[in-house]
Amino acid sequence: MAAPRERKINNSTQRYLSVAEIRENTLIMKDGSLRSVIMTSSINFALKNEDEQNGLIASYVNFLNNVSFPIQIVIQSRELNIESYLRALRQKEKEQTNELLKSQTADYINYIDELISLGKIMNKRFFVIVPYSPLSDQHKNFITRVSEIFTPSSIIKMKQDRFTKLRKELTRRVDSIISSLSAIGLNVVELDTQGLIELFYNTYNPATAGNEKMSDINNLRLE
């Protein structure tokens, strides 16, 4: 009996995502709502003295108490790939003409190799996802809010004015979150369109992203 032919898989990861479109630093979801992604720095809490720790806790509690809409806090942990860094160091070692610097570079490379052998070096990134949905706008009547939330995202694509209006509401929330997190002492930045695309690219293609960086979206050609 002949073996059945393997079915060709045409499905991509994008089909299973809730994101319909990325436009003007914004994620447009398939349900018609919007998302903005804020990336923040971290604070080494363990290195703070007791008074500083209590101050940070109080500031964070105050931040949470003042948020009047849902947010999502995401911590992304990835093994840090430093192979390209080591290759660059080895190349520098070969090109170095000063014997003392050449020896110091070799010692540094050995130190990094030993450090890696002791365990994986992890890189952590912190994100706050800020949503806006027409259904959450309490100033509109119930019928208007329900009709807007079920409006297909394809209609949003066709109506720039509607997108601009929703984005304005989202921006108010983003500004509020950025202001509050900055007051805690964090460095905060809203991801732009390039950053959002790279975030999804690196998240769903970790092996490829480690060896092949994504091009600037302004240089991409659409067939």
pLDDT tens string 50-67: 999 999 999 999 999 999
Q: Which of 23, 13, 43 is nearest to 203 (CA)?
A: 13
pLDDT of residue 148: 52
Residue at token pair 């947010």: 71
* φ and ψ at residue 17, rounded to 5 degrees: -85, 155
Of 131, 128, 171, 140, nearest to 29 by C-alpha is 131
Name, in order, each residue with C-beta under 8 angstroms of 115's C-beta and a sequence gap of 6 or more: 121
Residue range 11-32: mean pLDDT, rounded: 81
Residue 31: per-residue pLDDT: 84
147 phi, psi to nearest 5 deg: -65, -35
**What's the pLDDT score for residue 173?**
95
Where does the pLDDT of residue 83 fall: very low under 50, low under 70, confident under 90, or very high at 90 and above? confident
Q: Which residue would you say has higher pLDDT here, 143 or 123?
A: 123
In which band, very low, low, confident or very high, does the pLDDT at 221 lie, cut at 50, 70 and 90?
A: very low
* pTM of the predicted protein model: 0.68
Q: What percent of the chain has pLDDT over 90?
A: 34
The pLDDT of residue 11: 58
Q: Is 79 exposed, middle or buried (0-12, 13-18, 19+ CB in 10 A)?
A: exposed
pLDDT single digits (tens) 126-184: 999 999 987 655 555 555 555 555 554 454 454 788 888 899 999 999 999 999 999 99
Q: Which residue has the higher pLDDT, 82 or 4?
A: 82
Question: Which pair of tokens denotes residue 121?
Answer: 């070096």
Whole-angstrom distance, CA of residue 69 vs CA of residue 209: 34
What whole-number distance in Å separates Cα of residue 76 and Cα of residue 210? 15
Q: What pLDDT score does 81 carry? A: 74
Query: Could you report the per-residue pLDDT of 195-220, keeping only the tens digit for each?
Result: 999 888 888 877 666 566 656 655 54
d(CA 221, CA 218): 8
Return the pLDDT at 153: 47
